[in-house]
Amino acid sequence: MSQQTQQPTLDEIVSLCKRRGFVYPTSAIYGGLANSYDYGPLGSQLLKNIKDAWWKTFINRRTDMVGLDSQILLHPETWVASGHVGSFSDPLVDDLVSKKRYRADHLIETWIKKQQEKGNTQFDSFVVEDLSIEQMAEFITEHNILSPDGNPISEPKAFNLLFETAIGTVAGDKAKVYLRGETAQGIFSNFKQILDSSRVQLPFGVGQMGKSFRNEITTGQFVFRTFEFEQAEIEYFFNPNQTKWEDLMDSWKQAMHQFITQTLGIQEKNLKWRRHSDSERSFYSKDTYDLDYNFSFGWKELWGIAYRTDYDLKQHIKHSGEKLEYRDPHTNEVFVPHVIEPALGIARAFLMVLTDAYWNDTERNRVVLKLKPSLAPYKVAVFPLLKNKPELVEKAQSVFSLVSEKFETLWDDRGNIGKRYLYQDEIGTPFCITVDFESLENNTVTLRSRDTAEQVRIPISELESHITSMLV
């Protein structure tokens, strides 16, 4: 079976998503809303399967982790303490003619890419993330970088990414709150309550998954960068005098890589680690890596991991006056724990899973989503060979009842068998069961595998064990 060697184009992915109901543009009937997407019947199930896999791997199957579900609206002081109100910003420029806004770093990246396409190797090891806002301004002037429409642009200015809103019951300035810019701060503000109410002991981690919001300028990269998105973040607390942060960082990096390759089934060749340089890294972080994936539009961040020291807890101590400390039950040492933070974007994981699974099978003239079976929205599809033969339909319905007790199963009696197979291949269903005339005689059915398109004939009584053994 041939493996897709080239990444699909973003257009191919977007078109499959729309055609088959994975992702739709939000508010399409009103002409859409910028950078916003809805997950359709298949997309919502795939998204859920990815989220469930993360929760199971990192919360349920570890003895050193607990879960949390904090609010989107937190006390506004949270975001002052975390530094988001002061410095959570992107460098933006305005097209002086069209008034459209762009990210200065993205314009510089695009300009460099064009230079490289022309054979200019001068910028090959240039890291745009290392530039300060002043350096970006200089770079833009020096190279006369224009907007995508070819117009002059303004100097880059820092633009805060937090969305503001107001609570209705309080008047004036006190009503101002923010939609959370990350899920992590809810973990820090609950640190003491988790410590007091559960049986955790250092080192331990708290994970949570949920919506975050950033007022980002995006450049047509589908669900990769949106205003509203889901994160799965972990704060792993430890005592730096007892645990070497370098070892912890290594073991978390391994756990992340293993989740992506083994649990989500992503090809290793499409992943690479990128370490942040001193100038790119946040000032409070001692070490940061991004796990980058080879998206259709280039290598981009999927999952970040940072050693944030005791910065966040200390900031919240300063702003809240609460003692967010830990007393070691053995040594009685009282201290503020340090953290390592692995932070994953769920929509990016979703886009990665689709990109990696997309297979243009030219030999059989079909598009296949070679999803890891455990992630597929449906595991099995059941068909009666002919829709107008009641005895076949009745038998197929009994097979559907049997199989759907164990697996997410889809019923399809539209069109001919060939068309049904093509549809199931495109949505990534690993197995198709067809009930035919022979089924009526000897209680056997055909079971077709998505990737090989091969069919075997097996007794209905063996379907469950057969499918279970192949669902990994």
Q: Using CB under 6 A as the criterion, which residues of the chain lie in contact with ligand ATP when the complex forms?
A: 182, 214, 216, 225-226, 229, 231, 301-304, 343-345, 347-348
Q: Measure Cα distances from 188 to 87, 242, 314 in Å.
A: 19, 21, 10
The residue (of 76 and 345) whose beta carbon lies closer to ligand ATP is 345
Query: What is the C-alpha separation between 347 and 302, in angstroms, rounded?
Result: 9
Q: Which residue is nearest to ligand ATP (CB)?
A: 345
> In angstroms, what CA-CA distances link 230 with 18, 253, 354?
20, 21, 17
At its nearest, how many Å lie between ligand ATP and the CB of residue 240? Answer: 22
Give the DSSP letter of residue 72.
S
Name the minimum Å distance from CB 301 to ligand ATP: 5
CA angle 23, 417, 443 (to 5 degrees): 115
The nearer residue to ligand ATP, 17 or 445, going by C-beta atoms, is 17
Per the DSSP assignment, residues forming a β-bridge with 211 are: 230
Q: How far is the CB of 395 from ligand ATP (least distance, A)?
A: 46
Residue 95 or 182: the one with the smaller Cβ distance to ligand ATP is: 182
Query: Is the Cβ of residue 113 or residue 419 nearer to ligand ATP in the bound state?
Result: 113
State the Cα–Cα distance between residues 113 and 264, nearest whole angstrom. Answer: 31
Question: For ligand ATP, which is the closer residue by CB, 293 or 378?
Answer: 293
Parallel, antiparallel, or unpaired for β 409-411 and 380-384? parallel
Smallest separation, CB 348 to ligand ATP (Å): 4
Of residues 128 and 302, the one with the C-beta less far from ligand ATP: 302
Angle between helices 390-404 and 463-470 (to 10 degrees): 50
Q: Compute the least distance from the CB of residue 262 to ligand ATP, in Å.
A: 19
CB burial string 201-233: b at 16+ within 10 A, e below = ebbbbbbbbbebbbbbbebebbbbbbbbbbbbb
- The least distance separating ligand ATP from the CB of residue 290, rounded to whole angstroms, comes to 7
d(CA 288, CA 338): 14
Least separation in angstroms between CB 424 and ligand ATP? 30
> Do residues 385 and 433 make contact, with C-beta atoms less than 8 angstroms apart?
no
Nearer to ligand ATP, 23 or 385 (CB): 23
**Which of left, alpha, beta for 428 (phi over 0: left; psi -120 to 50: alpha)?**
left
Provide, rounded to whole angstroms, the least separation between the CB of residue 366 and ligand ATP. Answer: 31
**Cis peptide upstream of residue 148 (ω within 30 degrees of 0):** no
**Residue whose C-alpha is closest to residue 50's, from 352, 453, 270, 436:** 352
User: Looking at the DSSP assignment, which residues form a beta bridge with residue 89?
Assistant: 160
Q: In angstroms, what is the minimal distance from the CB of 428 to ligand ATP?
A: 22
Helix (H) or strand (E) holding 102: strand 101-103
Interacting residues of 472 by C-beta distance below 8 A, sequence separation 6+? 372, 373, 374
Which is nearest to 351 in space by CA: 178, 229, 180? Answer: 229
The DSSP call for residue 56 is I
Closer residue to ligand ATP, CB minimum distance, 215 or 404: 215
Amino acid at 149: D
Measured from the CB of residue 151, what is the shortest distance to ligand ATP in angstroms? 25
Whichever of 280 and 325 has its CB closer to ligand ATP, that residue is: 280
Q: Which is nearer to ligand ATP, 102 or 400 (CB)?
A: 102
